[in-house]
Amino acid sequence: MQKSSSTIQLIFLLLGSLVLLFILAPLAGMFLNTTPGQIFATAREEEVRSSIWLTIYTSMAGTLFFSIAAIPLAYILARKQFPLKKLVTGIIDLPVVIPHSAAGIALLGFVSRESPLGKMGSAIGLNFVGHPAGIAIAMAFVSIPYLINASRDGFSGVPVRLEKAALTLGASPFRVFFTISLPLAWRNILSGLILMFARGMSEFGAVIMVAYHPMITPVLIYERFGAFGLKYARPVSVLFILISLGLFIVLRWLAKEKNRTG
């Protein structure tokens, strides 16, 4: 029995190693073919710095703005039973399933000047197409399922008896939500926020349909590859991966510290 257990563990270890190699090999090859000098030279380019900053702040803005409605929706999904609930959860997952180029076409019709939203924007001098606001909308569209699903799981883990006890003691539903449900589910919500932000930063297909210019970094990488080839696109890719990885590590560390002190 022990020998059989050791054999299956060895097989699983080998299979897991193949998966890790599949993930690491392309990235390692990209890094090994890029010199530190190329990375520093790329980092000094104004176009590259502007695109990275645009990518970060539009993804962050989209995440924070749409979380105002996404988190309450997640709470409803975790706590309430209602007709067509399964349909609603299926709709929420649609942006993950559909091709993102198709999502970009759908969004382009949604934010164009002829659409109701586009007309509202035009009334205040805002054209979503080719604007950072349009980029933020495209990023949020493809990434919001991560926040909703993570938050829903967090609220599902909050004991219902605690909420009912607070209501029995006279607390309002709003107070119960903000003092019990939200704090206890905060770890999952924070994880969902980080995932939504990270996924938004990496989006290409939906964004390029709504706003080729100004260029976020994934679009800039695509343009340089098309215009100049792999040699000129690779350093931008490596630099963006390093910055994204650094941001992700910092956000995860901050989340861990908040959970430790909370």
Residue-wise pLDDT for 205-235, tens only, equals 999 999 999 999 999 999 999 999 999 999 9
Predicted local distance difference test score (pLDDT) of residue 248: 87
pTM summary value: 0.91
Predicted local distance difference test score (pLDDT) of residue 260: 64
Predicted local distance difference test score (pLDDT) of residue 35: 93
How far apart CA 186 and CA 150 sit, in angstroms, is 10
Predicted local distance difference test score (pLDDT) of residue 175: 94
Domain boundaries, the chain: 53-80+92-216
Predicted local distance difference test score (pLDDT) of residue 3: 61
Query: What's the whole-number average pLDDT of the chain?
Result: 92
Predicted local distance difference test score (pLDDT) of residue 254: 75
Q: Which residues in the chain come in under a pLDDT of 70?
A: 1-5, 257-262
Question: For the domain 53-80+92-216, what is the CATH superfamily, name and number?
Answer: MetI-like (1.10.3720.10)
Neighbours of 173 (CB within 10 A): 11
Predicted local distance difference test score (pLDDT) of residue 147: 97
Predicted local distance difference test score (pLDDT) of residue 262: 57
How far apart CA 136 and CA 219 sit, in angstroms, is 14
User: If 0-12 CB within 10 Å is exposed, 13-18 middle and 19+ buried, where does residue 22 land?
Assistant: exposed
